[in-house]
Amino acid sequence: MKKDLTRRNLLKTLGLATGGLLSLPLQGFGETSVRLHIPNSIKYPAPNKPVTAITLGAGNRGNVYGDYALKYSDHLNIIGVAEPIEIRNDRYCQKHNIPVENSFVTWEHVFERAKFADAIIITTPDNLHFGPCMKALSMGYDILLEKPIAPTEKECRDILSLAKETKRIVAVCHVLRYSPYFIKLHELIQNGSIGELISIQHFEPIEHIHMSHSYVRGNWHNSKATTPIILAKSCHDLDILRWMVGKSCEKISAFGDLSWFKKENEPTGATPRCVDGCAIEKECPYSALKIYYRDRQRTHVFDLPEDETKHGEAILDRLKTTDYGRCVYQMDNDQPDHYTTNLQFSNGVTAAFSMEAFTSYEGRRTRVMGSHGDIVGDMSQFVYTNFITGEKTEWELTSDAHGGGDWNLVSDWVQAVSKQNSDLLSSSIDVSVESHIIGFTAEKSRLGEKTEKVIL
């Protein structure tokens, strides 16, 4: 049912929702500037004893979440790790003082022992989420699960079913829900500050080098071996749209394909690897020599030695032996480099979401349209305009790529596990799976070239 949006009730809502911040005279235009701060990750007192956890996968995300335990050791204690890359395993064990008997090569080895921790942190590759998650649930572990939940819709539904059956806590790492930017957007939408929500436009610029690194050369270059890019990159965004609207999605139409990173666009003189004497290497924006060797971007994937004087030699070796050194026009990639999804929700709200590879910048952009106000933002700031007063309020923040949400997510998860209360999480496993189903339905629509109904 539509809310009663009389002028008096709307002004009352606006005044209460923002502490009087927006109650300027109706004539003229006012301007207010507010700085949004990333909240302290510790908003709860330490539990009676730290939650103990085993990390499966000591790559980038395993270290991001695991590092929380280094600063807040009275909240979280990492006591085990499974990681097949020896240098990553050794570094993780050293960082967290993990005893040798709790260092494992693969996730299967962890579950050969009886349960010896409170929880499991799953930060393995996408195609290795389902197996360890199901095993951990069956053995009584609570779980922090990196997105996407699993590579297929059936596997996502199976995880949901077992989580319900075992009554274990499963927090999916939808970290954008914990960023001040999206928290404030959600608040302004849900408290009626913009009147009735009508529609949303949301844009995720991947950035051209990030695209070539992760989705042409990198771990997610093949959708069949991992997950479709709409989930691998943008399940965050689908979850945010579902969260901001507050209703289930009913219909989807999606479009997009792989336009540029393919054999027919290969320049004359290109070689299989950028280090093979490619004739156009110096002019190519996707040159592996430029990105990794000369500019030293995204080199964390190479597990470089501690001695920085050996980094150059190590990088050149990786470019000769791994996919990161291959020509972007000669990979076996199939992920779309542009993807547009139109969504209709059960309350009639529509959303248009675009994911684009060919940008010089990263950082989500959002436009929210309501009956009595609108919001325009880009993760670092947003401007809210009140249609009644004409006032514009600008909110600004400075944060990391996930808007400061990583550790705030871990903080809530630790409390949820400690208190055995999943209500302390921003998103239940049910809603997390629902947003993934939206993604699978979008891919079905794109490939089938027709509008699809979302079946929950």
pLDDT at 44 over 90: no
pLDDT at 154 over 60: yes
Q: Is the pLDDT reported for residue 300 higher than 70?
A: yes
Q: How far apart are CA 261 and CA 257, in angstroms?
A: 11
Q: Please, what is the average pLDDT of the chain? A: 90
> For 271, phi and psi rounded to 5 degrees?
-115, 165
Query: What are the helix and strand counts (H, E) for the chain?
Result: 14, 16
CATH number of the domain bearing residue 87: 3.40.50.720
- How many CA atoms are closer than 13 Å to the CA of 342, on its beta-carbon side? 7
- Give domain status of residue 414, yes or no: no
> Could you tell me if 252 and 354 lie in one domain?
yes
Question: Do 161 and 84 share a structural domain?
Answer: yes
pLDDT of residue 405: 79
Per-residue pLDDT of 217-270, as tens digits, reads: 999 999 999 999 999 999 999 999 999 999 999 999 999 999 999 999 999 999
Mean pLDDT for the stretch of residues 165-183: 92
Q: Domain boundary residue among 307, 325, 343?
A: 325
Q: In this prediction, what percent of the chain has a pLDDT beyond 90? A: 83
Residue 221 maps to a domain: yes
Q: Look at residue 423 and tell me if it is in a domain.
A: no
For residue 148, say if its preceding peptide bond is cis, omega within 30 degrees of 0.
yes
| Residues 244, 352 share a domain | yes
Written as one string, the DSSP assignment of 85-110 is SHHHHHHHHHHHT--GGGEESSHHHH
> Tell me: the pLDDT tens digits for 401-451?
455 678 889 999 999 999 999 999 988 999 999 999 999 999 999 999 999
Say what the pTM is: 0.89
pLDDT recorded at residue 178: 87
Distances (CA, A) of 189 to 72, 135, 307, 374: 33, 39, 50, 9
State which residues form the domain around 193: 179-262+333-400+428-453
Mean pLDDT of 310-331: 97
Q: What is the pLDDT of residues 2-27, one digit of tens each?
A: 444 443 354 444 443 333 333 333 33
Higher pLDDT, 89 or 33: 89
- Looking at the structure of the chain, the number of domains it has is 3
Q: What pLDDT does 32 receive?
A: 66
Does one domain contain both 242 and 351?
Answer: yes
56 and 160, same structural domain? yes
- Please give the Cα distance from 438 to 23 (Å, whole number): 38
- Return all residues near 72 (Cβ < 8 A) that are at least 6 apart: 41, 42, 46, 411
Q: Which of 325, 353, 375 is the last residue of a domain?
A: 325
Which pLDDT score, from 0 to 100, does residue 2 have?
Answer: 42
Contact 275, 316 (CB under 8 A): yes
Say if residue 273's pLDDT is above 60: yes
Domain boundary among 175, 196, 219: 175
Check pLDDT > 80 for residue 43: no
Q: With contact defined as beta carbons under 8 Å apart, do 225 and 331 qualify?
A: no
Confidence category of residue 39, pLDDT binned at 50, 70, 90: low
